[in-house]
Structure 1
Amino acid sequence: MPSSEFDTSPIQNNISKSEHKANKDRHSSAATDQQVLIAGGGHVGLSFALLLAHRGIASTLLEKNSYPEMGPEDDEQRSHYLDSRNTALSRRTVQIYQEIGLWPELQSHACRIDAVQISEQGSFGRAQLKREEEKVESFGQVMENAWLGRKLLLAAQNEPLITLIDNADVTEVKQHADSVSVTFNYYGSSEGEQQLQGSVLVACDGRDSTVRQLLGISTTDYDYKQTAIVGVVHTDKAHEHIAIERFSPAGPLAVLPLTDPEGDGNNDYQQGFRRSVVWVCPKGEEQQYLEDDAHFLATLQQAFGERAGKFIATGRRGAYPLTRVLADKQVDGRCVIMGNAAHTLHPVAGQGFNLCMRDAHVLAQMMSEQVKKGADIGDTTMLKSYEKSRKTDQKRVVLFCDAVVHGFTHTNPAIKLARNVALVAFDKLPNIKPLVATYAMGLKS
């Protein structure tokens, strides 16, 4: 499934320690004695904390950045019409948010994907997935990052089992026989350096994870030598809930359907002329696409032809160097590496965030089973079992993303012919589409 999932700064809120203590006291019977420490307050960290809370497990989340003041009354505030980053949520990710009761709060700004069109610029290969053929409600939902982050944060703010601490810069991690301690500089207090202790530490602090580095966990990196230009455009043709994946010599390109600015993108009456765009170009060429709106729109038009209609307007765009970063291990004693700290992937097919959500869901469930048994929630054997259980899904996604990126940028005529024949075969042969669709929707892991 195509993607626009670049989220580099968490949407945040300021919550005092006294407010958290009052909330904890009111729900002390629901909290467990074993506390989970989470480093990183982006979408994955907040989602994991909410998954734990849904199972009655308390957590403390440390976020390096400052949380701006925000309340429920700010809920309806939208991003600029043509100025937002977006994420494609797979069906499995939507199911996870439904499980914890958050989807009703999210869905008004979500736009479903009814079909996915795949093609290569200047070639004959074409393929299409349609929801009615696969007998699904949708292949996924596209949502503005700002809206997702706002809703996740408000939910965490209102959850008594979650303690949010912002301005917290982790400086040291120490592991003990039955606990793990985290030292951090707390810039929101005159006390300066502080320490927390819990049964387990989960690092969701991004590609350049501080916790991962403090633990001495190395990474295997690969530079794609590409930059993703991410933005929102307006077309003169309604998107009709169709996502378009287009391959060019520069790299994979995606145009995803978005909600109308005034409301629900899942209502059929909405026309839908806003689209999220991911344009991949060779590293070093990004400036021309960032600074010149007319050039950017003309380049998109040339690449996509008339499939999306005419590209008539665009907003501010961001540029993101593309590098694959894989942690050499995801468990070290009582510490777990999760999210982009564990695996930062190429955005092709929109698998990155959705893979992180499947990881978070599995770990939350395994921790819940430990609590039910009265066992140690940070037991290394259990955590290693989690790591092993996720390897197949993770490896498959990494290999798939790399195969698509390298396969569709190879200029050899024979390889180009082979991949276009493969696209036609994919579109025509029975039983292949349902398998690919199942994987893309995250329903088989």
Structure 2
Amino acid sequence: MQNDLVTEKVIIVGGGMVGLSLALMLAKQKIQVQLLEAIKYPIFESEGEIPYHSSFDARNTALSRRSVQIYQQLGLWDLLQVHATPILQVHITEQGSFGKARLVAEEEKVESFGQVIENAWLGRVLLTEVRKEALIELIDGVKVTELNQDQDQVHIEANRGEEALKLSAKLLIAADGRDSFCRQALGVGVDVHDYDQVAIVTAVQTSKPHQQVGFERFSPLGPLALLPLPGEYRRSVVWPVKKGTEHEWLGQENDQHFLDALQHTYGDRAGKFEKTGQRFCFPLSQVLAHKQAVGRVVLMGNAAHTIHPVAGQGFNLCLRDAFVLLRFITEQLEASEDIGQPEMLLAYEQSRLEDQKRVIKFCDSVVRGFSNSNPILKLIRNTGLVAFDVIPGIKPLVANYAMGLKA
């Protein structure tokens, strides 16, 4: 790609999966990117190695069909699909209750409801492609210390070891996480709800093949997601439990105790839970920024909205945000307009609010609704699961929203 084709430059602060994805989107539009990440990225010594990084760790991501389409448009899906497993069915049940619901891809006339990929593999593929891209300058191990803006540009100062950096651009995208420095520097407040939960995350092996079936099982301990992974008998586990109880499930000495709890919760649906990997834990809260566009800065990813993982919608929502922002930026380029124009960024923010509010409300409602042990509420929600399974027209609507196709 020739330098004379480069039209603009954008700074992205935060090199997690959202930041890496957005950098590749922008480079595809011949936009130069300076991508800043606080943690040093790993160097991959072999093809099968996936050392964890803080941004792509032991967790797994259920990529919606819309997210898969976005990566297809970027030309990345063939590289990602090698490490992904399709979800052909979704079963939703509550332990000790009669209600159940089932979604089947074939019945909904879709190839799959999405694809499950380990974050470490997703991160490795994205990082490898970013390192190949001449238009992306990757600056890792850097701490941003100042952010200010004037009428024409955003200016940041940062430190990388002993080196002091001063960078400027017409547009800065802050994708620097739930505790975003950039958001705080802009004076943007947040609404925070602590769910008083910690997510236990790992991979397990079962005696029955997963057959590309995903389970969402609501239990007294918390909502438990069991999703298929590459390998016929491997499944990912995301189990939010009450904060303060997580140590009961962590550590090699608790392997059998953890497997027994899974067995008790799921019964024989997955067969025998035979092996578990190392468990990791992550605190769960909802953090919503009061604004997502301030002057020439736009908040992206968890800096804009961090939500509960119960329905696996967080990253998919962020990726849709990024793709829509790309459309707004591309339209500005085609019209030879300023890509950091504050009015354009406010228009982007407004365009995303409906989708964001719908997803945030849905995830929060599921957590609150299934966390209540009131017998009347339990009857109502199980009746709702039965209704979902038998009333015509509901499944296609819900399936399309879950796949991100209504955004």
Residue 292 of structure 2 aligns with which residue? 330
Residue 14 of structure 1 aligns with which residue? none
* Counterpart pick for 1:240 among 211, 233, 238: 211
1:27/1:160 contact within 8 Å kept: no
1:75/1:150 contact within 8 Å kept: no
Residue type of the partner of 1:275? Answer: R
Say how many residue pairs are matched: 401
User: Displacement of 1:74 after TM fit?
Assistant: 2.9
CA distance in 1, matches of 2:338, 2:59: 39
* Larger relative contact order, structure 1 or 2 (CA cutoff 8 Å, min sep 6): 1
Residue 112 of structure 1 aligns with which residue? 86
User: Displacement of 1:78 after TM fit?
Assistant: 5.4
1:128/1:427 contact within 8 Å kept: yes
CA distance in 2, matches of 1:114, 1:214: 44
The Cα offsets for residues 203-237 of structure 1, whole Å up to 9 and x where unpaired, read as 11111111111111111000001111000000000
Matched, 1:77 2:49: yes
CA distance in 1, matches of 2:389, 2:173: 42
CA distance in 2, matches of 1:409, 1:174: 43
CA distance in 2, matches of 1:135, 1:370: 37
Secondary structure, aligned partner of 1:325? strand
Secondary structure, aligned partner of 1:392? helix
Residue 136 of structure 2 aligns with which residue? 162
Distance change in 2, residues 1:78/1:379 (3 Å): closer
Matched, 1:178 2:152: yes
1:114-129 equivalence runs, <5 A: 114-129=88-103
Secondary structure, aligned partner of 1:290? coil
* Counterpart pick for 1:222 among 175, 193, 205: 193
Secondary structure, aligned partner of 1:74? coil
Matched, 1:91 2:65: yes
Q: TM-score, normalised by structure 1?
A: 0.88
CA distance in 2, matches of 1:386, 1:322: 28
CA distance in 1, matches of 2:36, 2:49: 26
2:14/2:174 contact within 8 Å kept: yes
Q: TM-score, normalised by structure 2?
A: 0.96
CA distance in 2, matches of 1:297, 1:399: 32
Residue 210 of structure 1 aligns with which residue? 181
**Taking every aligned residue pair, what percent have the same amino acid on both sides?**
56
Secondary structure, aligned partner of 2:350? helix
The Cα offsets for residues 409-445 of structure 1, whole Å up to 9 and x where unpaired, read as 1111111001000000000010000000000000111
The Cα offsets for residues 100-122 of structure 1, whole Å up to 9 and x where unpaired, read as 10001111110000000000000
User: Displacement of 1:79 after TM fit?
Assistant: 7.1
1:221/1:323 contact within 8 Å kept: yes
Distance change in 2, residues 1:428/1:283 (3 Å): same
CA distance in 1, matches of 2:70, 2:46: 25
User: Displacement of 1:30 after TM fit?
Assistant: 2.3
Distance change in 2, residues 1:424/1:405 (3 Å): same
Matched, 1:251 2:226: no
Secondary structure, aligned partner of 1:129? strand
Residue 199 of structure 1 aligns with which residue? 170
CA distance in 2, matches of 1:198, 1:440: 36
2:191/2:287 contact within 8 Å kept: yes
Matched, 1:286 2:246: yes
Residue type of the partner of 2:156? Answer: V
Residue 426 of structure 1 aligns with which residue? 388
